[in-house]
Homo-oligomer: A and B are copies of this chain.
Amino acid sequence: MVEKSPTLVRLMQQLQRIPYLASKNIYRVTGYILALDSDKAQQLCAAILDAKKNIVPCKRCFTWQDREGTCAYCDSPSRDQSIICVVETWHELMAIEKTGGYRGAYHVLGGALSPLDGIEPKDLHIEELIQRVDGTIREIIIATNQTPEGEATLAYVTTQLKKKSATLPEGAAPLTYMLTCLARGVPVGASLEYIDRVTIYKALDERRPL
């Protein structure tokens, strides 16, 4: 780091831990914070500490909720609790919410399997998902990312779900949910010329009748 002031270095080290803040932006964000009015900086910190204190994960679906409040997804009467959409993280959940096209429940895994990064099944909320599935569930949509890690997680979760169905205690109601994943294909608005060939292959392979 070119900067010498220990106070400034400490601030930049703290900011650098925030993911997705490209190193070029560190200086811009640091400059913004230094140029803030003192009470604006207080407000920023109050909002951070307040959120840390009062926002906790929902015990059922692991989205964020107010400590004293109810879960916006699990406890909402307007959402269909018999469909569960399984996502890697909260910001992917928000991406789905922003479409406005999904009114079911969620299950946030908290990441994707990645042996190289030391992320194993026990580090994700997979066991909780398996526990949660019962006779009332009609559909489970696995909406992990289209990355090697996301695909591996999809495969693992699917296996675990099928294992549960196969080893139900005698006399238990059978699990009759449908297991689905997101459609793969050409993004809306894209021209084929600029799409990679694996995507085109998938779009062709998974073509649907008009």
> Which residues of A line the B interface, CB within 8 A?
2-8, 10-11, 13-15, 17-21, 25, 27-34, 36, 38, 40-45, 47-55, 64-66, 69, 72, 89-91, 94-95, 97-98
Contacts and interface: CB of A to CB of B under 8 A. Distances in A.
Given A25-B20, A50-B11, A31 B69 contact: no
B41 A14 contact: no
A31, A38, A51, A91, most chain B CB atoms within 10 A: A51
Given A11-B50, A55-B8, A97 B34 contact: no
Given A4-B72, A48-B45, A66-B7, A28 B20 contact: yes
A97 B1 CA distance: 10
A8 B44 CA distance: 12
Contacts of A17: 40, 44
Contacts of A36: 52
Number of copies: 2
Contact of A29 (B5, B11, B19, B33): B19
Contacts of A10: 47, 50-51
23 contacts: A5-B69, A6-B66, A7-B54, A7-B55, A10-B50, A13-B47, A14-B48, A17-B44, A19-B28, A20-B25, A27-B91, A28-B91, A30-B91, A33-B48, A34-B52, A34-B55, A34-B64, A38-B52, A41-B48, A41-B49, A45-B45, A45-B48, A45-B49
A42 B49 contact: yes
A36 B8 CA distance: 21
A10 B55 CA distance: 12
Contacts of A30: 51, 91
The 6 closest A-B pairs by CB, nearest first: A27-B91, A45-B45, A11-B51, A14-B47, A11-B47, A41-B52
Nearest to A4: B72
Contacts of A14: 43-44, 47-48
